[in-house]
Structure 1
């Protein structure tokens, strides 16, 4: 994680976040100056942001909405107070309604983003200033410090060429906290086709099989929010194992960018939340799956089944049999 320190100072009414990135200062500055790049990391995992207005000039405003995995939303705005490219800029960050109007009862904060070149890249120091101890305590209780830490953890991939960052790494599993896991895999192919491969039964049956020796015997896809889905597998020939399957409900469908579903093994009560995100760059697509488990024990138990190895076998098959055609 690039965040190295988070300090809350009740005497000076500040929260300070220090993060280090292996990229030149101009590259980090550009990530904060382009709403399309900001959308990839401004917001913690599971709460991606969409910027609906952008005027990066002194006195200008930027409006954004973060969309949660269960259909929730939280909106905010930046008013640009000062800009000194590429070393710093300051905004007034406010909670707003969907139309950009400030919300009563939610504190605004003056945020200063300062960038400094280092021997290894760039150090960013973000200092949030509050009007009162109560306002500072309120955002701490709302989880702002942990949200910033997790959001900054997504910036490394934005700062690098997608292939340089992920090519050859295979299926990567990152433990974000006790109940949240991020799984990533770069595949060589366009996002539109990768989306179809996740949502069209005839394509899913060609690659979503895990290790060799299994076949998909049932594939009911949810095409609208609120619909149920169901997928089942069985061993073929001499392959050992018992048939199994998963079922759940679609919570978010934002084709071809994002889908969120609940998931439980058929016949089992344990439910997870699966948040699939697809991002394309220069013909390659980064698949990012955020999984929310009910507790640490369930997380560890499921990961110990070899789930990541099965996913890697499926992704490898996806590239070989669908995307390479």
Structure 2
């Protein structure tokens, strides 16, 4: 059975809080969030695929990837990594961009903070996403972000089984 995902939207603080527990060791779950070849397996909601163009998982490093649709259409995005605490947490700034990493100014950037905590059931993953304003947050939600992200998190759960 898919474990529940908590997905709280707070428009007053322009933020989203997501929590999910995986039945796996912290180090294994960590790898699926930080290694491009593993991220490619689950980050995009099916039938879309995630394809990494480049990744440097280090403070100040960048993960440049595309979401590839069933018709071959591509949407590029990148995460610029901030502070990394091995097997505990990392943060990054997420933006839409072109294939060369040039940021698309039509879409606001979002600040993501990922947390990993060992619990009795396995690993609790928390994701805090902060938007510059509630309009930016609304725009992403209207693009289907909630459904897509939940789908990806559940895909990861299936992989970890």
* Residue equivalent to 1:213: none
1:29 Cα deviation from its structure 2 partner? 0.6
Could you say which structure has the larger radius of gyration? 1
Q: Which deviations, in whole Å up to 9, do the C-alpha atoms of 1:144-171 show, x marking residues without a partner?
A: 11110001111123324xxxxxxxxxxx
1:181-222 Cα distance to aligned partner (Å, 9 max, x none): xxxxxxxxxxxxxxxxxxxxxxxxxxxxxxxxxxxxxxxxxx
Moved over 3 A (4+): none
User: How far 1:2 moved relative to its partner?
Assistant: 3.6
**CA-CA distance at 1:3 after TM superposition:** 4.4
1:3–1:102 CA distance, 2 compared to 1 (3 A): farther
How far 1:98 sits from its partner (Å)? Answer: 1.8
Name the structure 2 match of 1:233. Answer: none
SS at match of 2:59: coil
After TM superposition, the structure 1 = structure 2 runs for residues 13-32 of structure 1, keeping only pairs within 5 Å, are 13-32=14-33
Name the CA distance, whole Å, in 1 between partners of 2:44 and 2:69.
10
| TM-score of the superposed pair, with normalisation by structure 1 | 0.48
8 Å CA contact retained: 1:31, 1:159: no
Residue correspondence of structure 1 range 224-243 to structure 2 within 5 A: none
The equivalent of 2:8 in structure 1 is 7
Instruction: Please say if residues 21 and 122 of structure 1, whose CA atoms lie closer than 8 Å, have aligned partners that are also in contact.
Output: yes
CA deviations over 1:46-97 (Å, ceiling 9, x no partner): 1110111110110011100010012221110010011011010001010011
1: CA distance, partners of 2:21 / 2:64: 26
Correspondence for 2:152: 151
What SS does the corresponding residue of 2:149 show, helix, strand or coil? helix
Over the aligned positions, Cα root-mean-square deviation in angstroms equals: 1.1
Deviations 1:106-142 (A, max 9, x none): 1110001101111110110111000011101110101
2:51 aligned counterpart, secondary structure: strand
Measured in 1, the distance between the counterparts of 2:149 and 2:125 equals 13
**Contact 2:21 2:124 (8 Å CA) reproduced:** yes
Contact persistence 2:13–2:134 (CA under 8 A): no
State the match for 1:44 in structure 2.
45
SS in 2 for 1:71: coil
TM norm structure 2: 0.95
Aligned residues: 160
Alignment of 1:30-69 (within 5 A): 30-69=31-70
